[in-house]
Amino acid sequence: MSVPSQPLVLQRGLEAYATTFDAMRAFTDARTAATADELWIVEHPPVFTLGLAADPSHVLDPHNIPVVETDRGGEVTYHGPGQAVIYLLLDLRRHKADARLFARELVNKIEQAVIDTLAAYNLACERKPGAPGIYMSDGSAQGAKIAALGLKIRGNGCTYHGVSLNVAMDLTPFTWINPCGYEDLATIDMQSLGAQATLSEVQNALADKLSKSLSR
């Protein structure tokens, strides 16, 4: 049986972070050369997550929000209701023999999918060298971070974790951390920028952009 050329898209709904984290690792443990790649669309209850490079001191005051250590790259971030989270469960060897080289291209593809999704709502944004994620490029919110990403790439080229895009959420918890390890980094969501979009619309739009860019 041939493997689909585009990742399968699964909507997991509102799900505790720990449940998704365990499921991602279990899926990756069990996958074989015949396992289709998948994109998981998820919304999480409030949670702070720490990447492998995270300094716990960047969690300034969790205010009773759980803090979870993970095996993704990067620093501390926040997930909560109204945020579009998409996890990428991929086998990079299907794209290039050297999965490590494709990892850089993968990050670029993820960031471009976010940029293209936001452009459809007339929101101009950009990358920042050395600071993975997407930032507003003009207006009163210039420099504010609207999307974050962090991946785990195993030695066999299989990935999990992914990208989060702030759609319509309570941004207050971001002020209780140094987002991605940066003191006083402003964060923003689409709603605050005047975008009239439901979470479901943005989830599906971003998943579509990612799926097409990752098709072989």
- For residue 163, the cross-strand partners are 86, 149
pTM equals 0.95
Tokens standing for residue 137: 């490029």
Q: Which residues contact 142 (CB under 8 A, 6 or more apart)?
A: 136
Sign of the dihedral defined by the CA atoms of residues 110, 112, 114, 116, in that order? negative
pLDDT tens-digit readout, 168-205: 999 999 999 999 888 889 999 999 999 999 999 999 99
Total residue length of the chain: 216
Name the phi and psi angles at 145, rounded to 5.
-90, 130
Contact 74, 180 (CB under 8 A): yes
Task: Say what the pLDDT of residue 182 is.
Answer: 84
Q: Which of 24, 41, 163, 180 is catalytic?
A: 180
Q: How far apart are CA 1 and CA 34, in angstroms?
A: 8
Task: Say what the pLDDT of residue 6 is.
Answer: 87
Tokens standing for residue 53: 């490079």
Contact 43, 127 (CB under 8 A): no
Residues of the chain with pLDDT under 70: 1, 95-101, 216
180 annotated active-site: yes
